[in-house]
Amino acid sequence: MAKNNFKNKVAIITGSSGGIGKAIAISLAKQGSKVVINGRNSERLNKTLLEIREITSEVLAVCCDVSSISGSQDLIDKTIEKFGKIDFLINNVGISMRGEIADLNPEVFKTVFDSNVLGAVYPTIPAIKHIRETKGSIVFISSLAAIHGLPFLSAYSSSKLALRAIAESLRIEESKNDVHVGLVLVGITEIEDNKQAVNFDGSMISLESRNNKKAQSKENVAKSVLKNISKRKFISVQTSLGKLNAFLHARFPLLVERILIKNIDKFNNFTK
């Protein structure tokens, strides 16, 4: 990948104190970008800041909650104050959940949508005018779970599917301004220690670490995101299974549903 696609570009990555967001920030820093990292946990954010400073001094950490309007505005304002422009906004912040719809505390949907949908919309709105000036990119990190609603992940699947509608609307609206809008559908990815999800009753639970051959690395996800930006693609679907899922769902949705029903016990075990 040519370095000049990213050198001296200013990139905001939400939810980047760890996980995929951190991997994207590190990858961009290595490509010569000026990166703005974000998270709600100041300790984790500062730790990531120190790691990226070993790569570049052109890094800014903004501790705020992008699921709030004021937090998102603060993120954009501080980026402009520090670097004077925005080339890339990568909406990565999000949270997963577990549980059957019949058992869910209704607040689970609000919690997940606040993070996954509003946490993408709120920073995007104030960033648009700046990205128009650079003819840059706005990228939404979605999931293969958005292709077809998955059992025990209803709020998560629907929130990630909502990002597609937002991205489609934005892509049409901003076509006249030459703003690139990307949507990356991420597959099963390795899980870090202490990563949390929302349980059926609304409480937070820790997910088991996942680092095996079936799970893609965070670095591979970051590579896909940078490729999406570099080639100014719209939708990037990760993994062969994900591409097959997208193909089958578009043509044979009832077949996909039957496959999911047949394997529902596997999903139940996976999400426990």
**Model confidence pLDDT, tens digit, residues 113-171:** 999 999 999 999 999 999 999 999 999 999 998 898 899 999 999 999 999 999 999 99
| pLDDT band at residue 269 under the 50/70/90 scheme | low
- Which pLDDT tens digit goes with each residue over 51-96? 999 999 999 999 999 999 999 999 999 999 999 999 999 999 999 9
Does residue 122 have an active-site annotation? Answer: no
Q: Which of 17, 156, 185, 188 is an active site residue?
A: 156
Task: Give me the pLDDT at residue 196, please.
Answer: 86
Alpha-carbon dihedral 42, 43, 47, 48, rounded to 10 degrees: -40
What is the reported pLDDT for 143? 93
Q: What is the pLDDT of residue 148?
A: 86
The whole-number pLDDT of residue 24 equals 97
- Tell me what pLDDT residue 3 has: 45
167-190 tens-digit pLDDT: 999 999 999 999 999 999 998 777
Kindly list the distances between the CA atom of residue 173 and the CA atoms of 25, 45, 179, 239, in Å, as whole numbers in the listed order.
Answer: 27, 34, 9, 30
% of the chain surpassing 90 pLDDT: 72
Q: What's the rounded Cα separation, in Å, for the pair 89 and 131?
A: 8
Domains of the chain and any CATH numbers: 3-271 (3.40.50.720)
* Whether pTM exceeds 0.75: yes
What is the average pLDDT across 96-102?
Answer: 94
pLDDT at 100 over 60: yes
